[in-house]
């Protein structure tokens, strides 16, 4: 019967979460006009779930019976996937849950991951509905890659996981101020950038990071035998010895924590432990690089290639390279030079532009301590608690359908 047929071909039971309010409010129309037929023709069985409010998706995936689903796909902006990932990592079975293949169809105004997936596929950049169609086709191929996640410690909020970016200064302010231009769709960032340029300012703070390569090795070795680019399937056991040992270590730590009497009253922490970070109120480890400048125009940490549909901020980033691509622009840059940087970023050529005020480093972890009492920090485009923070990359922790 039909169920057997689909089980014998590529497993394809997807939970498709659509946010009807995302972007210009057209996600449901776009689903009805394009996506439904595309998935049906590709034999992808899916169940449509319309999100009703903020945190609805997060609560749903936190309690869902994940054995029913081969993938969880969202049709919205990046904000909805942020909820899904953090919901999965809040589950007691987070280790298994976070290996659920995740997919994204651009329906929001911030579609950076969708644009990144299009970039990874080698296709030329496309926007709006063309990006949706490209991502729809890639989704139908159901090929799964690993995806890095970055754990982020804020001063008093619980730890978060980020799949996309962390921004402070110019980029974070544009992201938030441009909310009022959301009827413009993805163009809201362009408009916001121009508006913000007029009131360009300097943000004071301290930045430090753990460089990825002390030995000038520019690339991480690939994760071998690890279901890389494997057809979508329910969490095949990972053959990679590095990863297996990493996993068993993690579960050992969790189990120990659970059996410690003093912890038994509190909930066991979920998610992988961070091995590179000391508490925020303690001095940095000796092998970290402390940035001399304390005047910034922006600090931006990227874990995917695209910051927006038309901003290729980290052109050589891949979903599982194990790097945080850290950028900062120091105070003293002119408006004209900053505008030039953002214009070059549309093609991803800003790194070659030799701007003295912009620095790029591949790092494993960083700490940022803004000194002004008020300000904006965004993680994956969402505002988070403002204040000192630190972050560490967890290579290949999640799974992403990249086609």
Nearer to Mg ion among residue 151 and residue 378 (C-beta)? 378
Classify residue 348 as left (phi > 0), alpha (psi -120 to 50) or beta. Answer: left
Residue whose beta carbon is closest to ligand ADP: 77
Choose the contact partner of 9 out of ligand ADP, Mg ion, none; CB within 5 to 8 A by kind. Answer: none
Least separation, in Å, of the C-beta of 348 and ligand ADP?
22
Q: Rule CB under 5 A: is residue 319 a binding residue for Mg ion? A: no
Nearer to ligand ADP among residue 83 and residue 173 (C-beta)? 83
**78 annotated active-site:** yes
For residues 308 and 300, is the Cβ–Cβ distance under 8 A?
A: no
For residues 99 and 88, is the Cβ–Cβ distance under 8 A?
A: no
Q: Rule CB under 5 A: is residue 107 a binding residue for Mg ion? A: no
Catalytic residue among 1, 65, 70, 78: 78
Nearer to Mg ion among residue 77 and residue 87 (C-beta)? 77
Choose the contact partner of 20 out of Mg ion, ligand ADP, none; CB within 5 to 8 A by kind. Answer: ligand ADP
Nearer to ligand ADP among residue 175 and residue 392 (C-beta)? 175
Least separation, in Å, of the C-beta of 380 and Mg ion?
8
* Size of site (CB under 5 A) for Mg ion: 4
Tokens for 13? 């039971």
Alpha carbon 181 to its chain's center: 23
Nearer to ligand ADP among residue 134 and residue 240 (C-beta)? 134
Binding stretches for ligand ADP (CB under 6 A): 19-23, 51-56, 76-80, 83, 108-110
Span from 66-74, 110-118, 227-235, 303-311 in contact with Mg ion (CB under 5 A): 110-118
Least separation, in Å, of the C-beta of 247 and ligand ADP?
30
Closest to 301 (Cα-Cα) out of 378, 371, 221: 378
Q: Rule CB under 5 A: is residue 106 a binding residue for Mg ion? A: no
Alpha carbon 179 to its chain's center: 19
Nearer to Mg ion among residue 178 and residue 390 (C-beta)? 178
For residues 302 and 351, is the Cβ–Cβ distance under 8 A?
A: no
Least separation, in Å, of the C-beta of 145 and Mg ion?
23
Q: Rule CB under 5 A: is residue 205 a binding residue for Mg ion? A: no
Q: Rule CB under 5 A: is residue 110 a binding residue for Mg ion? A: yes
- Residues numbered 328 to 387 that lie near Mg ion (CB under 5 A) are 381
- Residues numbered 59 to 88 that lie near Mg ion (CB under 5 A) are 77, 79
Nearer to Mg ion among residue 185 and residue 205 (C-beta)? 185
Least separation, in Å, of the C-beta of 236 and ligand ADP?
29
Pairing of strands 101-106, 389-401: parallel
Report d(CA 325, CA 77) in Å as an integer: 22
Choose the contact partner of 52 out of Mg ion, ligand ADP, none; CB within 5 to 8 A by kind. Answer: ligand ADP
Choose the contact partner of 214 out of Mg ion, ligand ADP, none; CB within 5 to 8 A by kind. Answer: none
Enumerate residues 6+ apart whose C-beta is below 8 A from 142: 10, 12, 44, 71, 101, 231, 232, 401, 403
Residues assigned a catalytic role:
78
Q: Which residues bind Mg ion (CB under 5 A)?
A: 77, 79, 110, 381
């Amino acid at each position: 019967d039909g169920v057997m047929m689909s089980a014998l071909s590529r497993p394809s039971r997807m939970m498709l979460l659509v946010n009807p309010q995302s972007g210009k409010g057209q996600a449901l129309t776009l689903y009805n006009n394009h996506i439904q037929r595309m998935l049906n023709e590709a034999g992808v069985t899916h169940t449509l779930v319309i999100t009703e409010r903020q945190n609805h998706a997060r609560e749903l995936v936190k309690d869902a019976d994940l054995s029913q689903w081969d993938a969880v796909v969202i049709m919205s902006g990046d904000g909805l996937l942020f909820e899904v990932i953090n919901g999965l990592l809040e589950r007691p079975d987070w280790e298994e849950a976070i290996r659920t293949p995740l997919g994204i169809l651009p329906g929001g105004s911030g579609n950076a991951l969708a644009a990144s997936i299009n970039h990874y596929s080698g296709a030329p950049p496309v926007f709006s509905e063309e990006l949706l169609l490209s991502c729809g086709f890639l989704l139908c191929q159901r090929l799964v890659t690993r995806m890095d996640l970055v754990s982020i410690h804020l001063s008093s909020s619980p730890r978060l996981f980020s799949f996309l970016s962390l921004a402070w200064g110019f980029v974070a302010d544009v992201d938030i101020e441009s909310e009022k231009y959301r009827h413009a769709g993805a163009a809201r960032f362009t408009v916001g950038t121009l508006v913000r340029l007029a009131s360009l300012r300097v943000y004071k703070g301290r930045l430090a990071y753990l460089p990825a390569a002390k030995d000038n090795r520019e690339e991480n070795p690939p994760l071998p035998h690890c279901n890389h680019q494997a057809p979508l399937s329910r969490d095949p056991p990972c053959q990679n010895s590095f990863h297996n040992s990493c996993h068993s270590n993690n579960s050992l730590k969790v189990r120990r924590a659970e059996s410690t009497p003093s912890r038994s009253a509190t909930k066991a922490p979920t998610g992988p432990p961070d091995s590179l970070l000391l508490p925020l109120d303690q001095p940095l480890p000796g092998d970290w690089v402390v940035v001399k400048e304390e005047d910034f125009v922006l600090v931006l940490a990227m874990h995917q290639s695209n910051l927006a549909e038309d901003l290729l901020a980290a052109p050589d980033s891949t979903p599982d390279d194990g790097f945080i691509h850290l950028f900062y622009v120091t105070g003293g840059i002119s408006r004209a030079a900053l505008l030039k940087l953002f214009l070059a970023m549309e093609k991803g050529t800003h790194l070659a532009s030799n701007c003295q005020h912009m620095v790029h480093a591949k790092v494993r972890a960083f700490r940022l301590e803004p000194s002004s009492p008020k300000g904006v920090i965004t993680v994956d485009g969402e505002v988070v608690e403002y204040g000192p923070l630190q972050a560490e990359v967890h290579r290949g922790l999640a799974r992403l359908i990249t086609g």
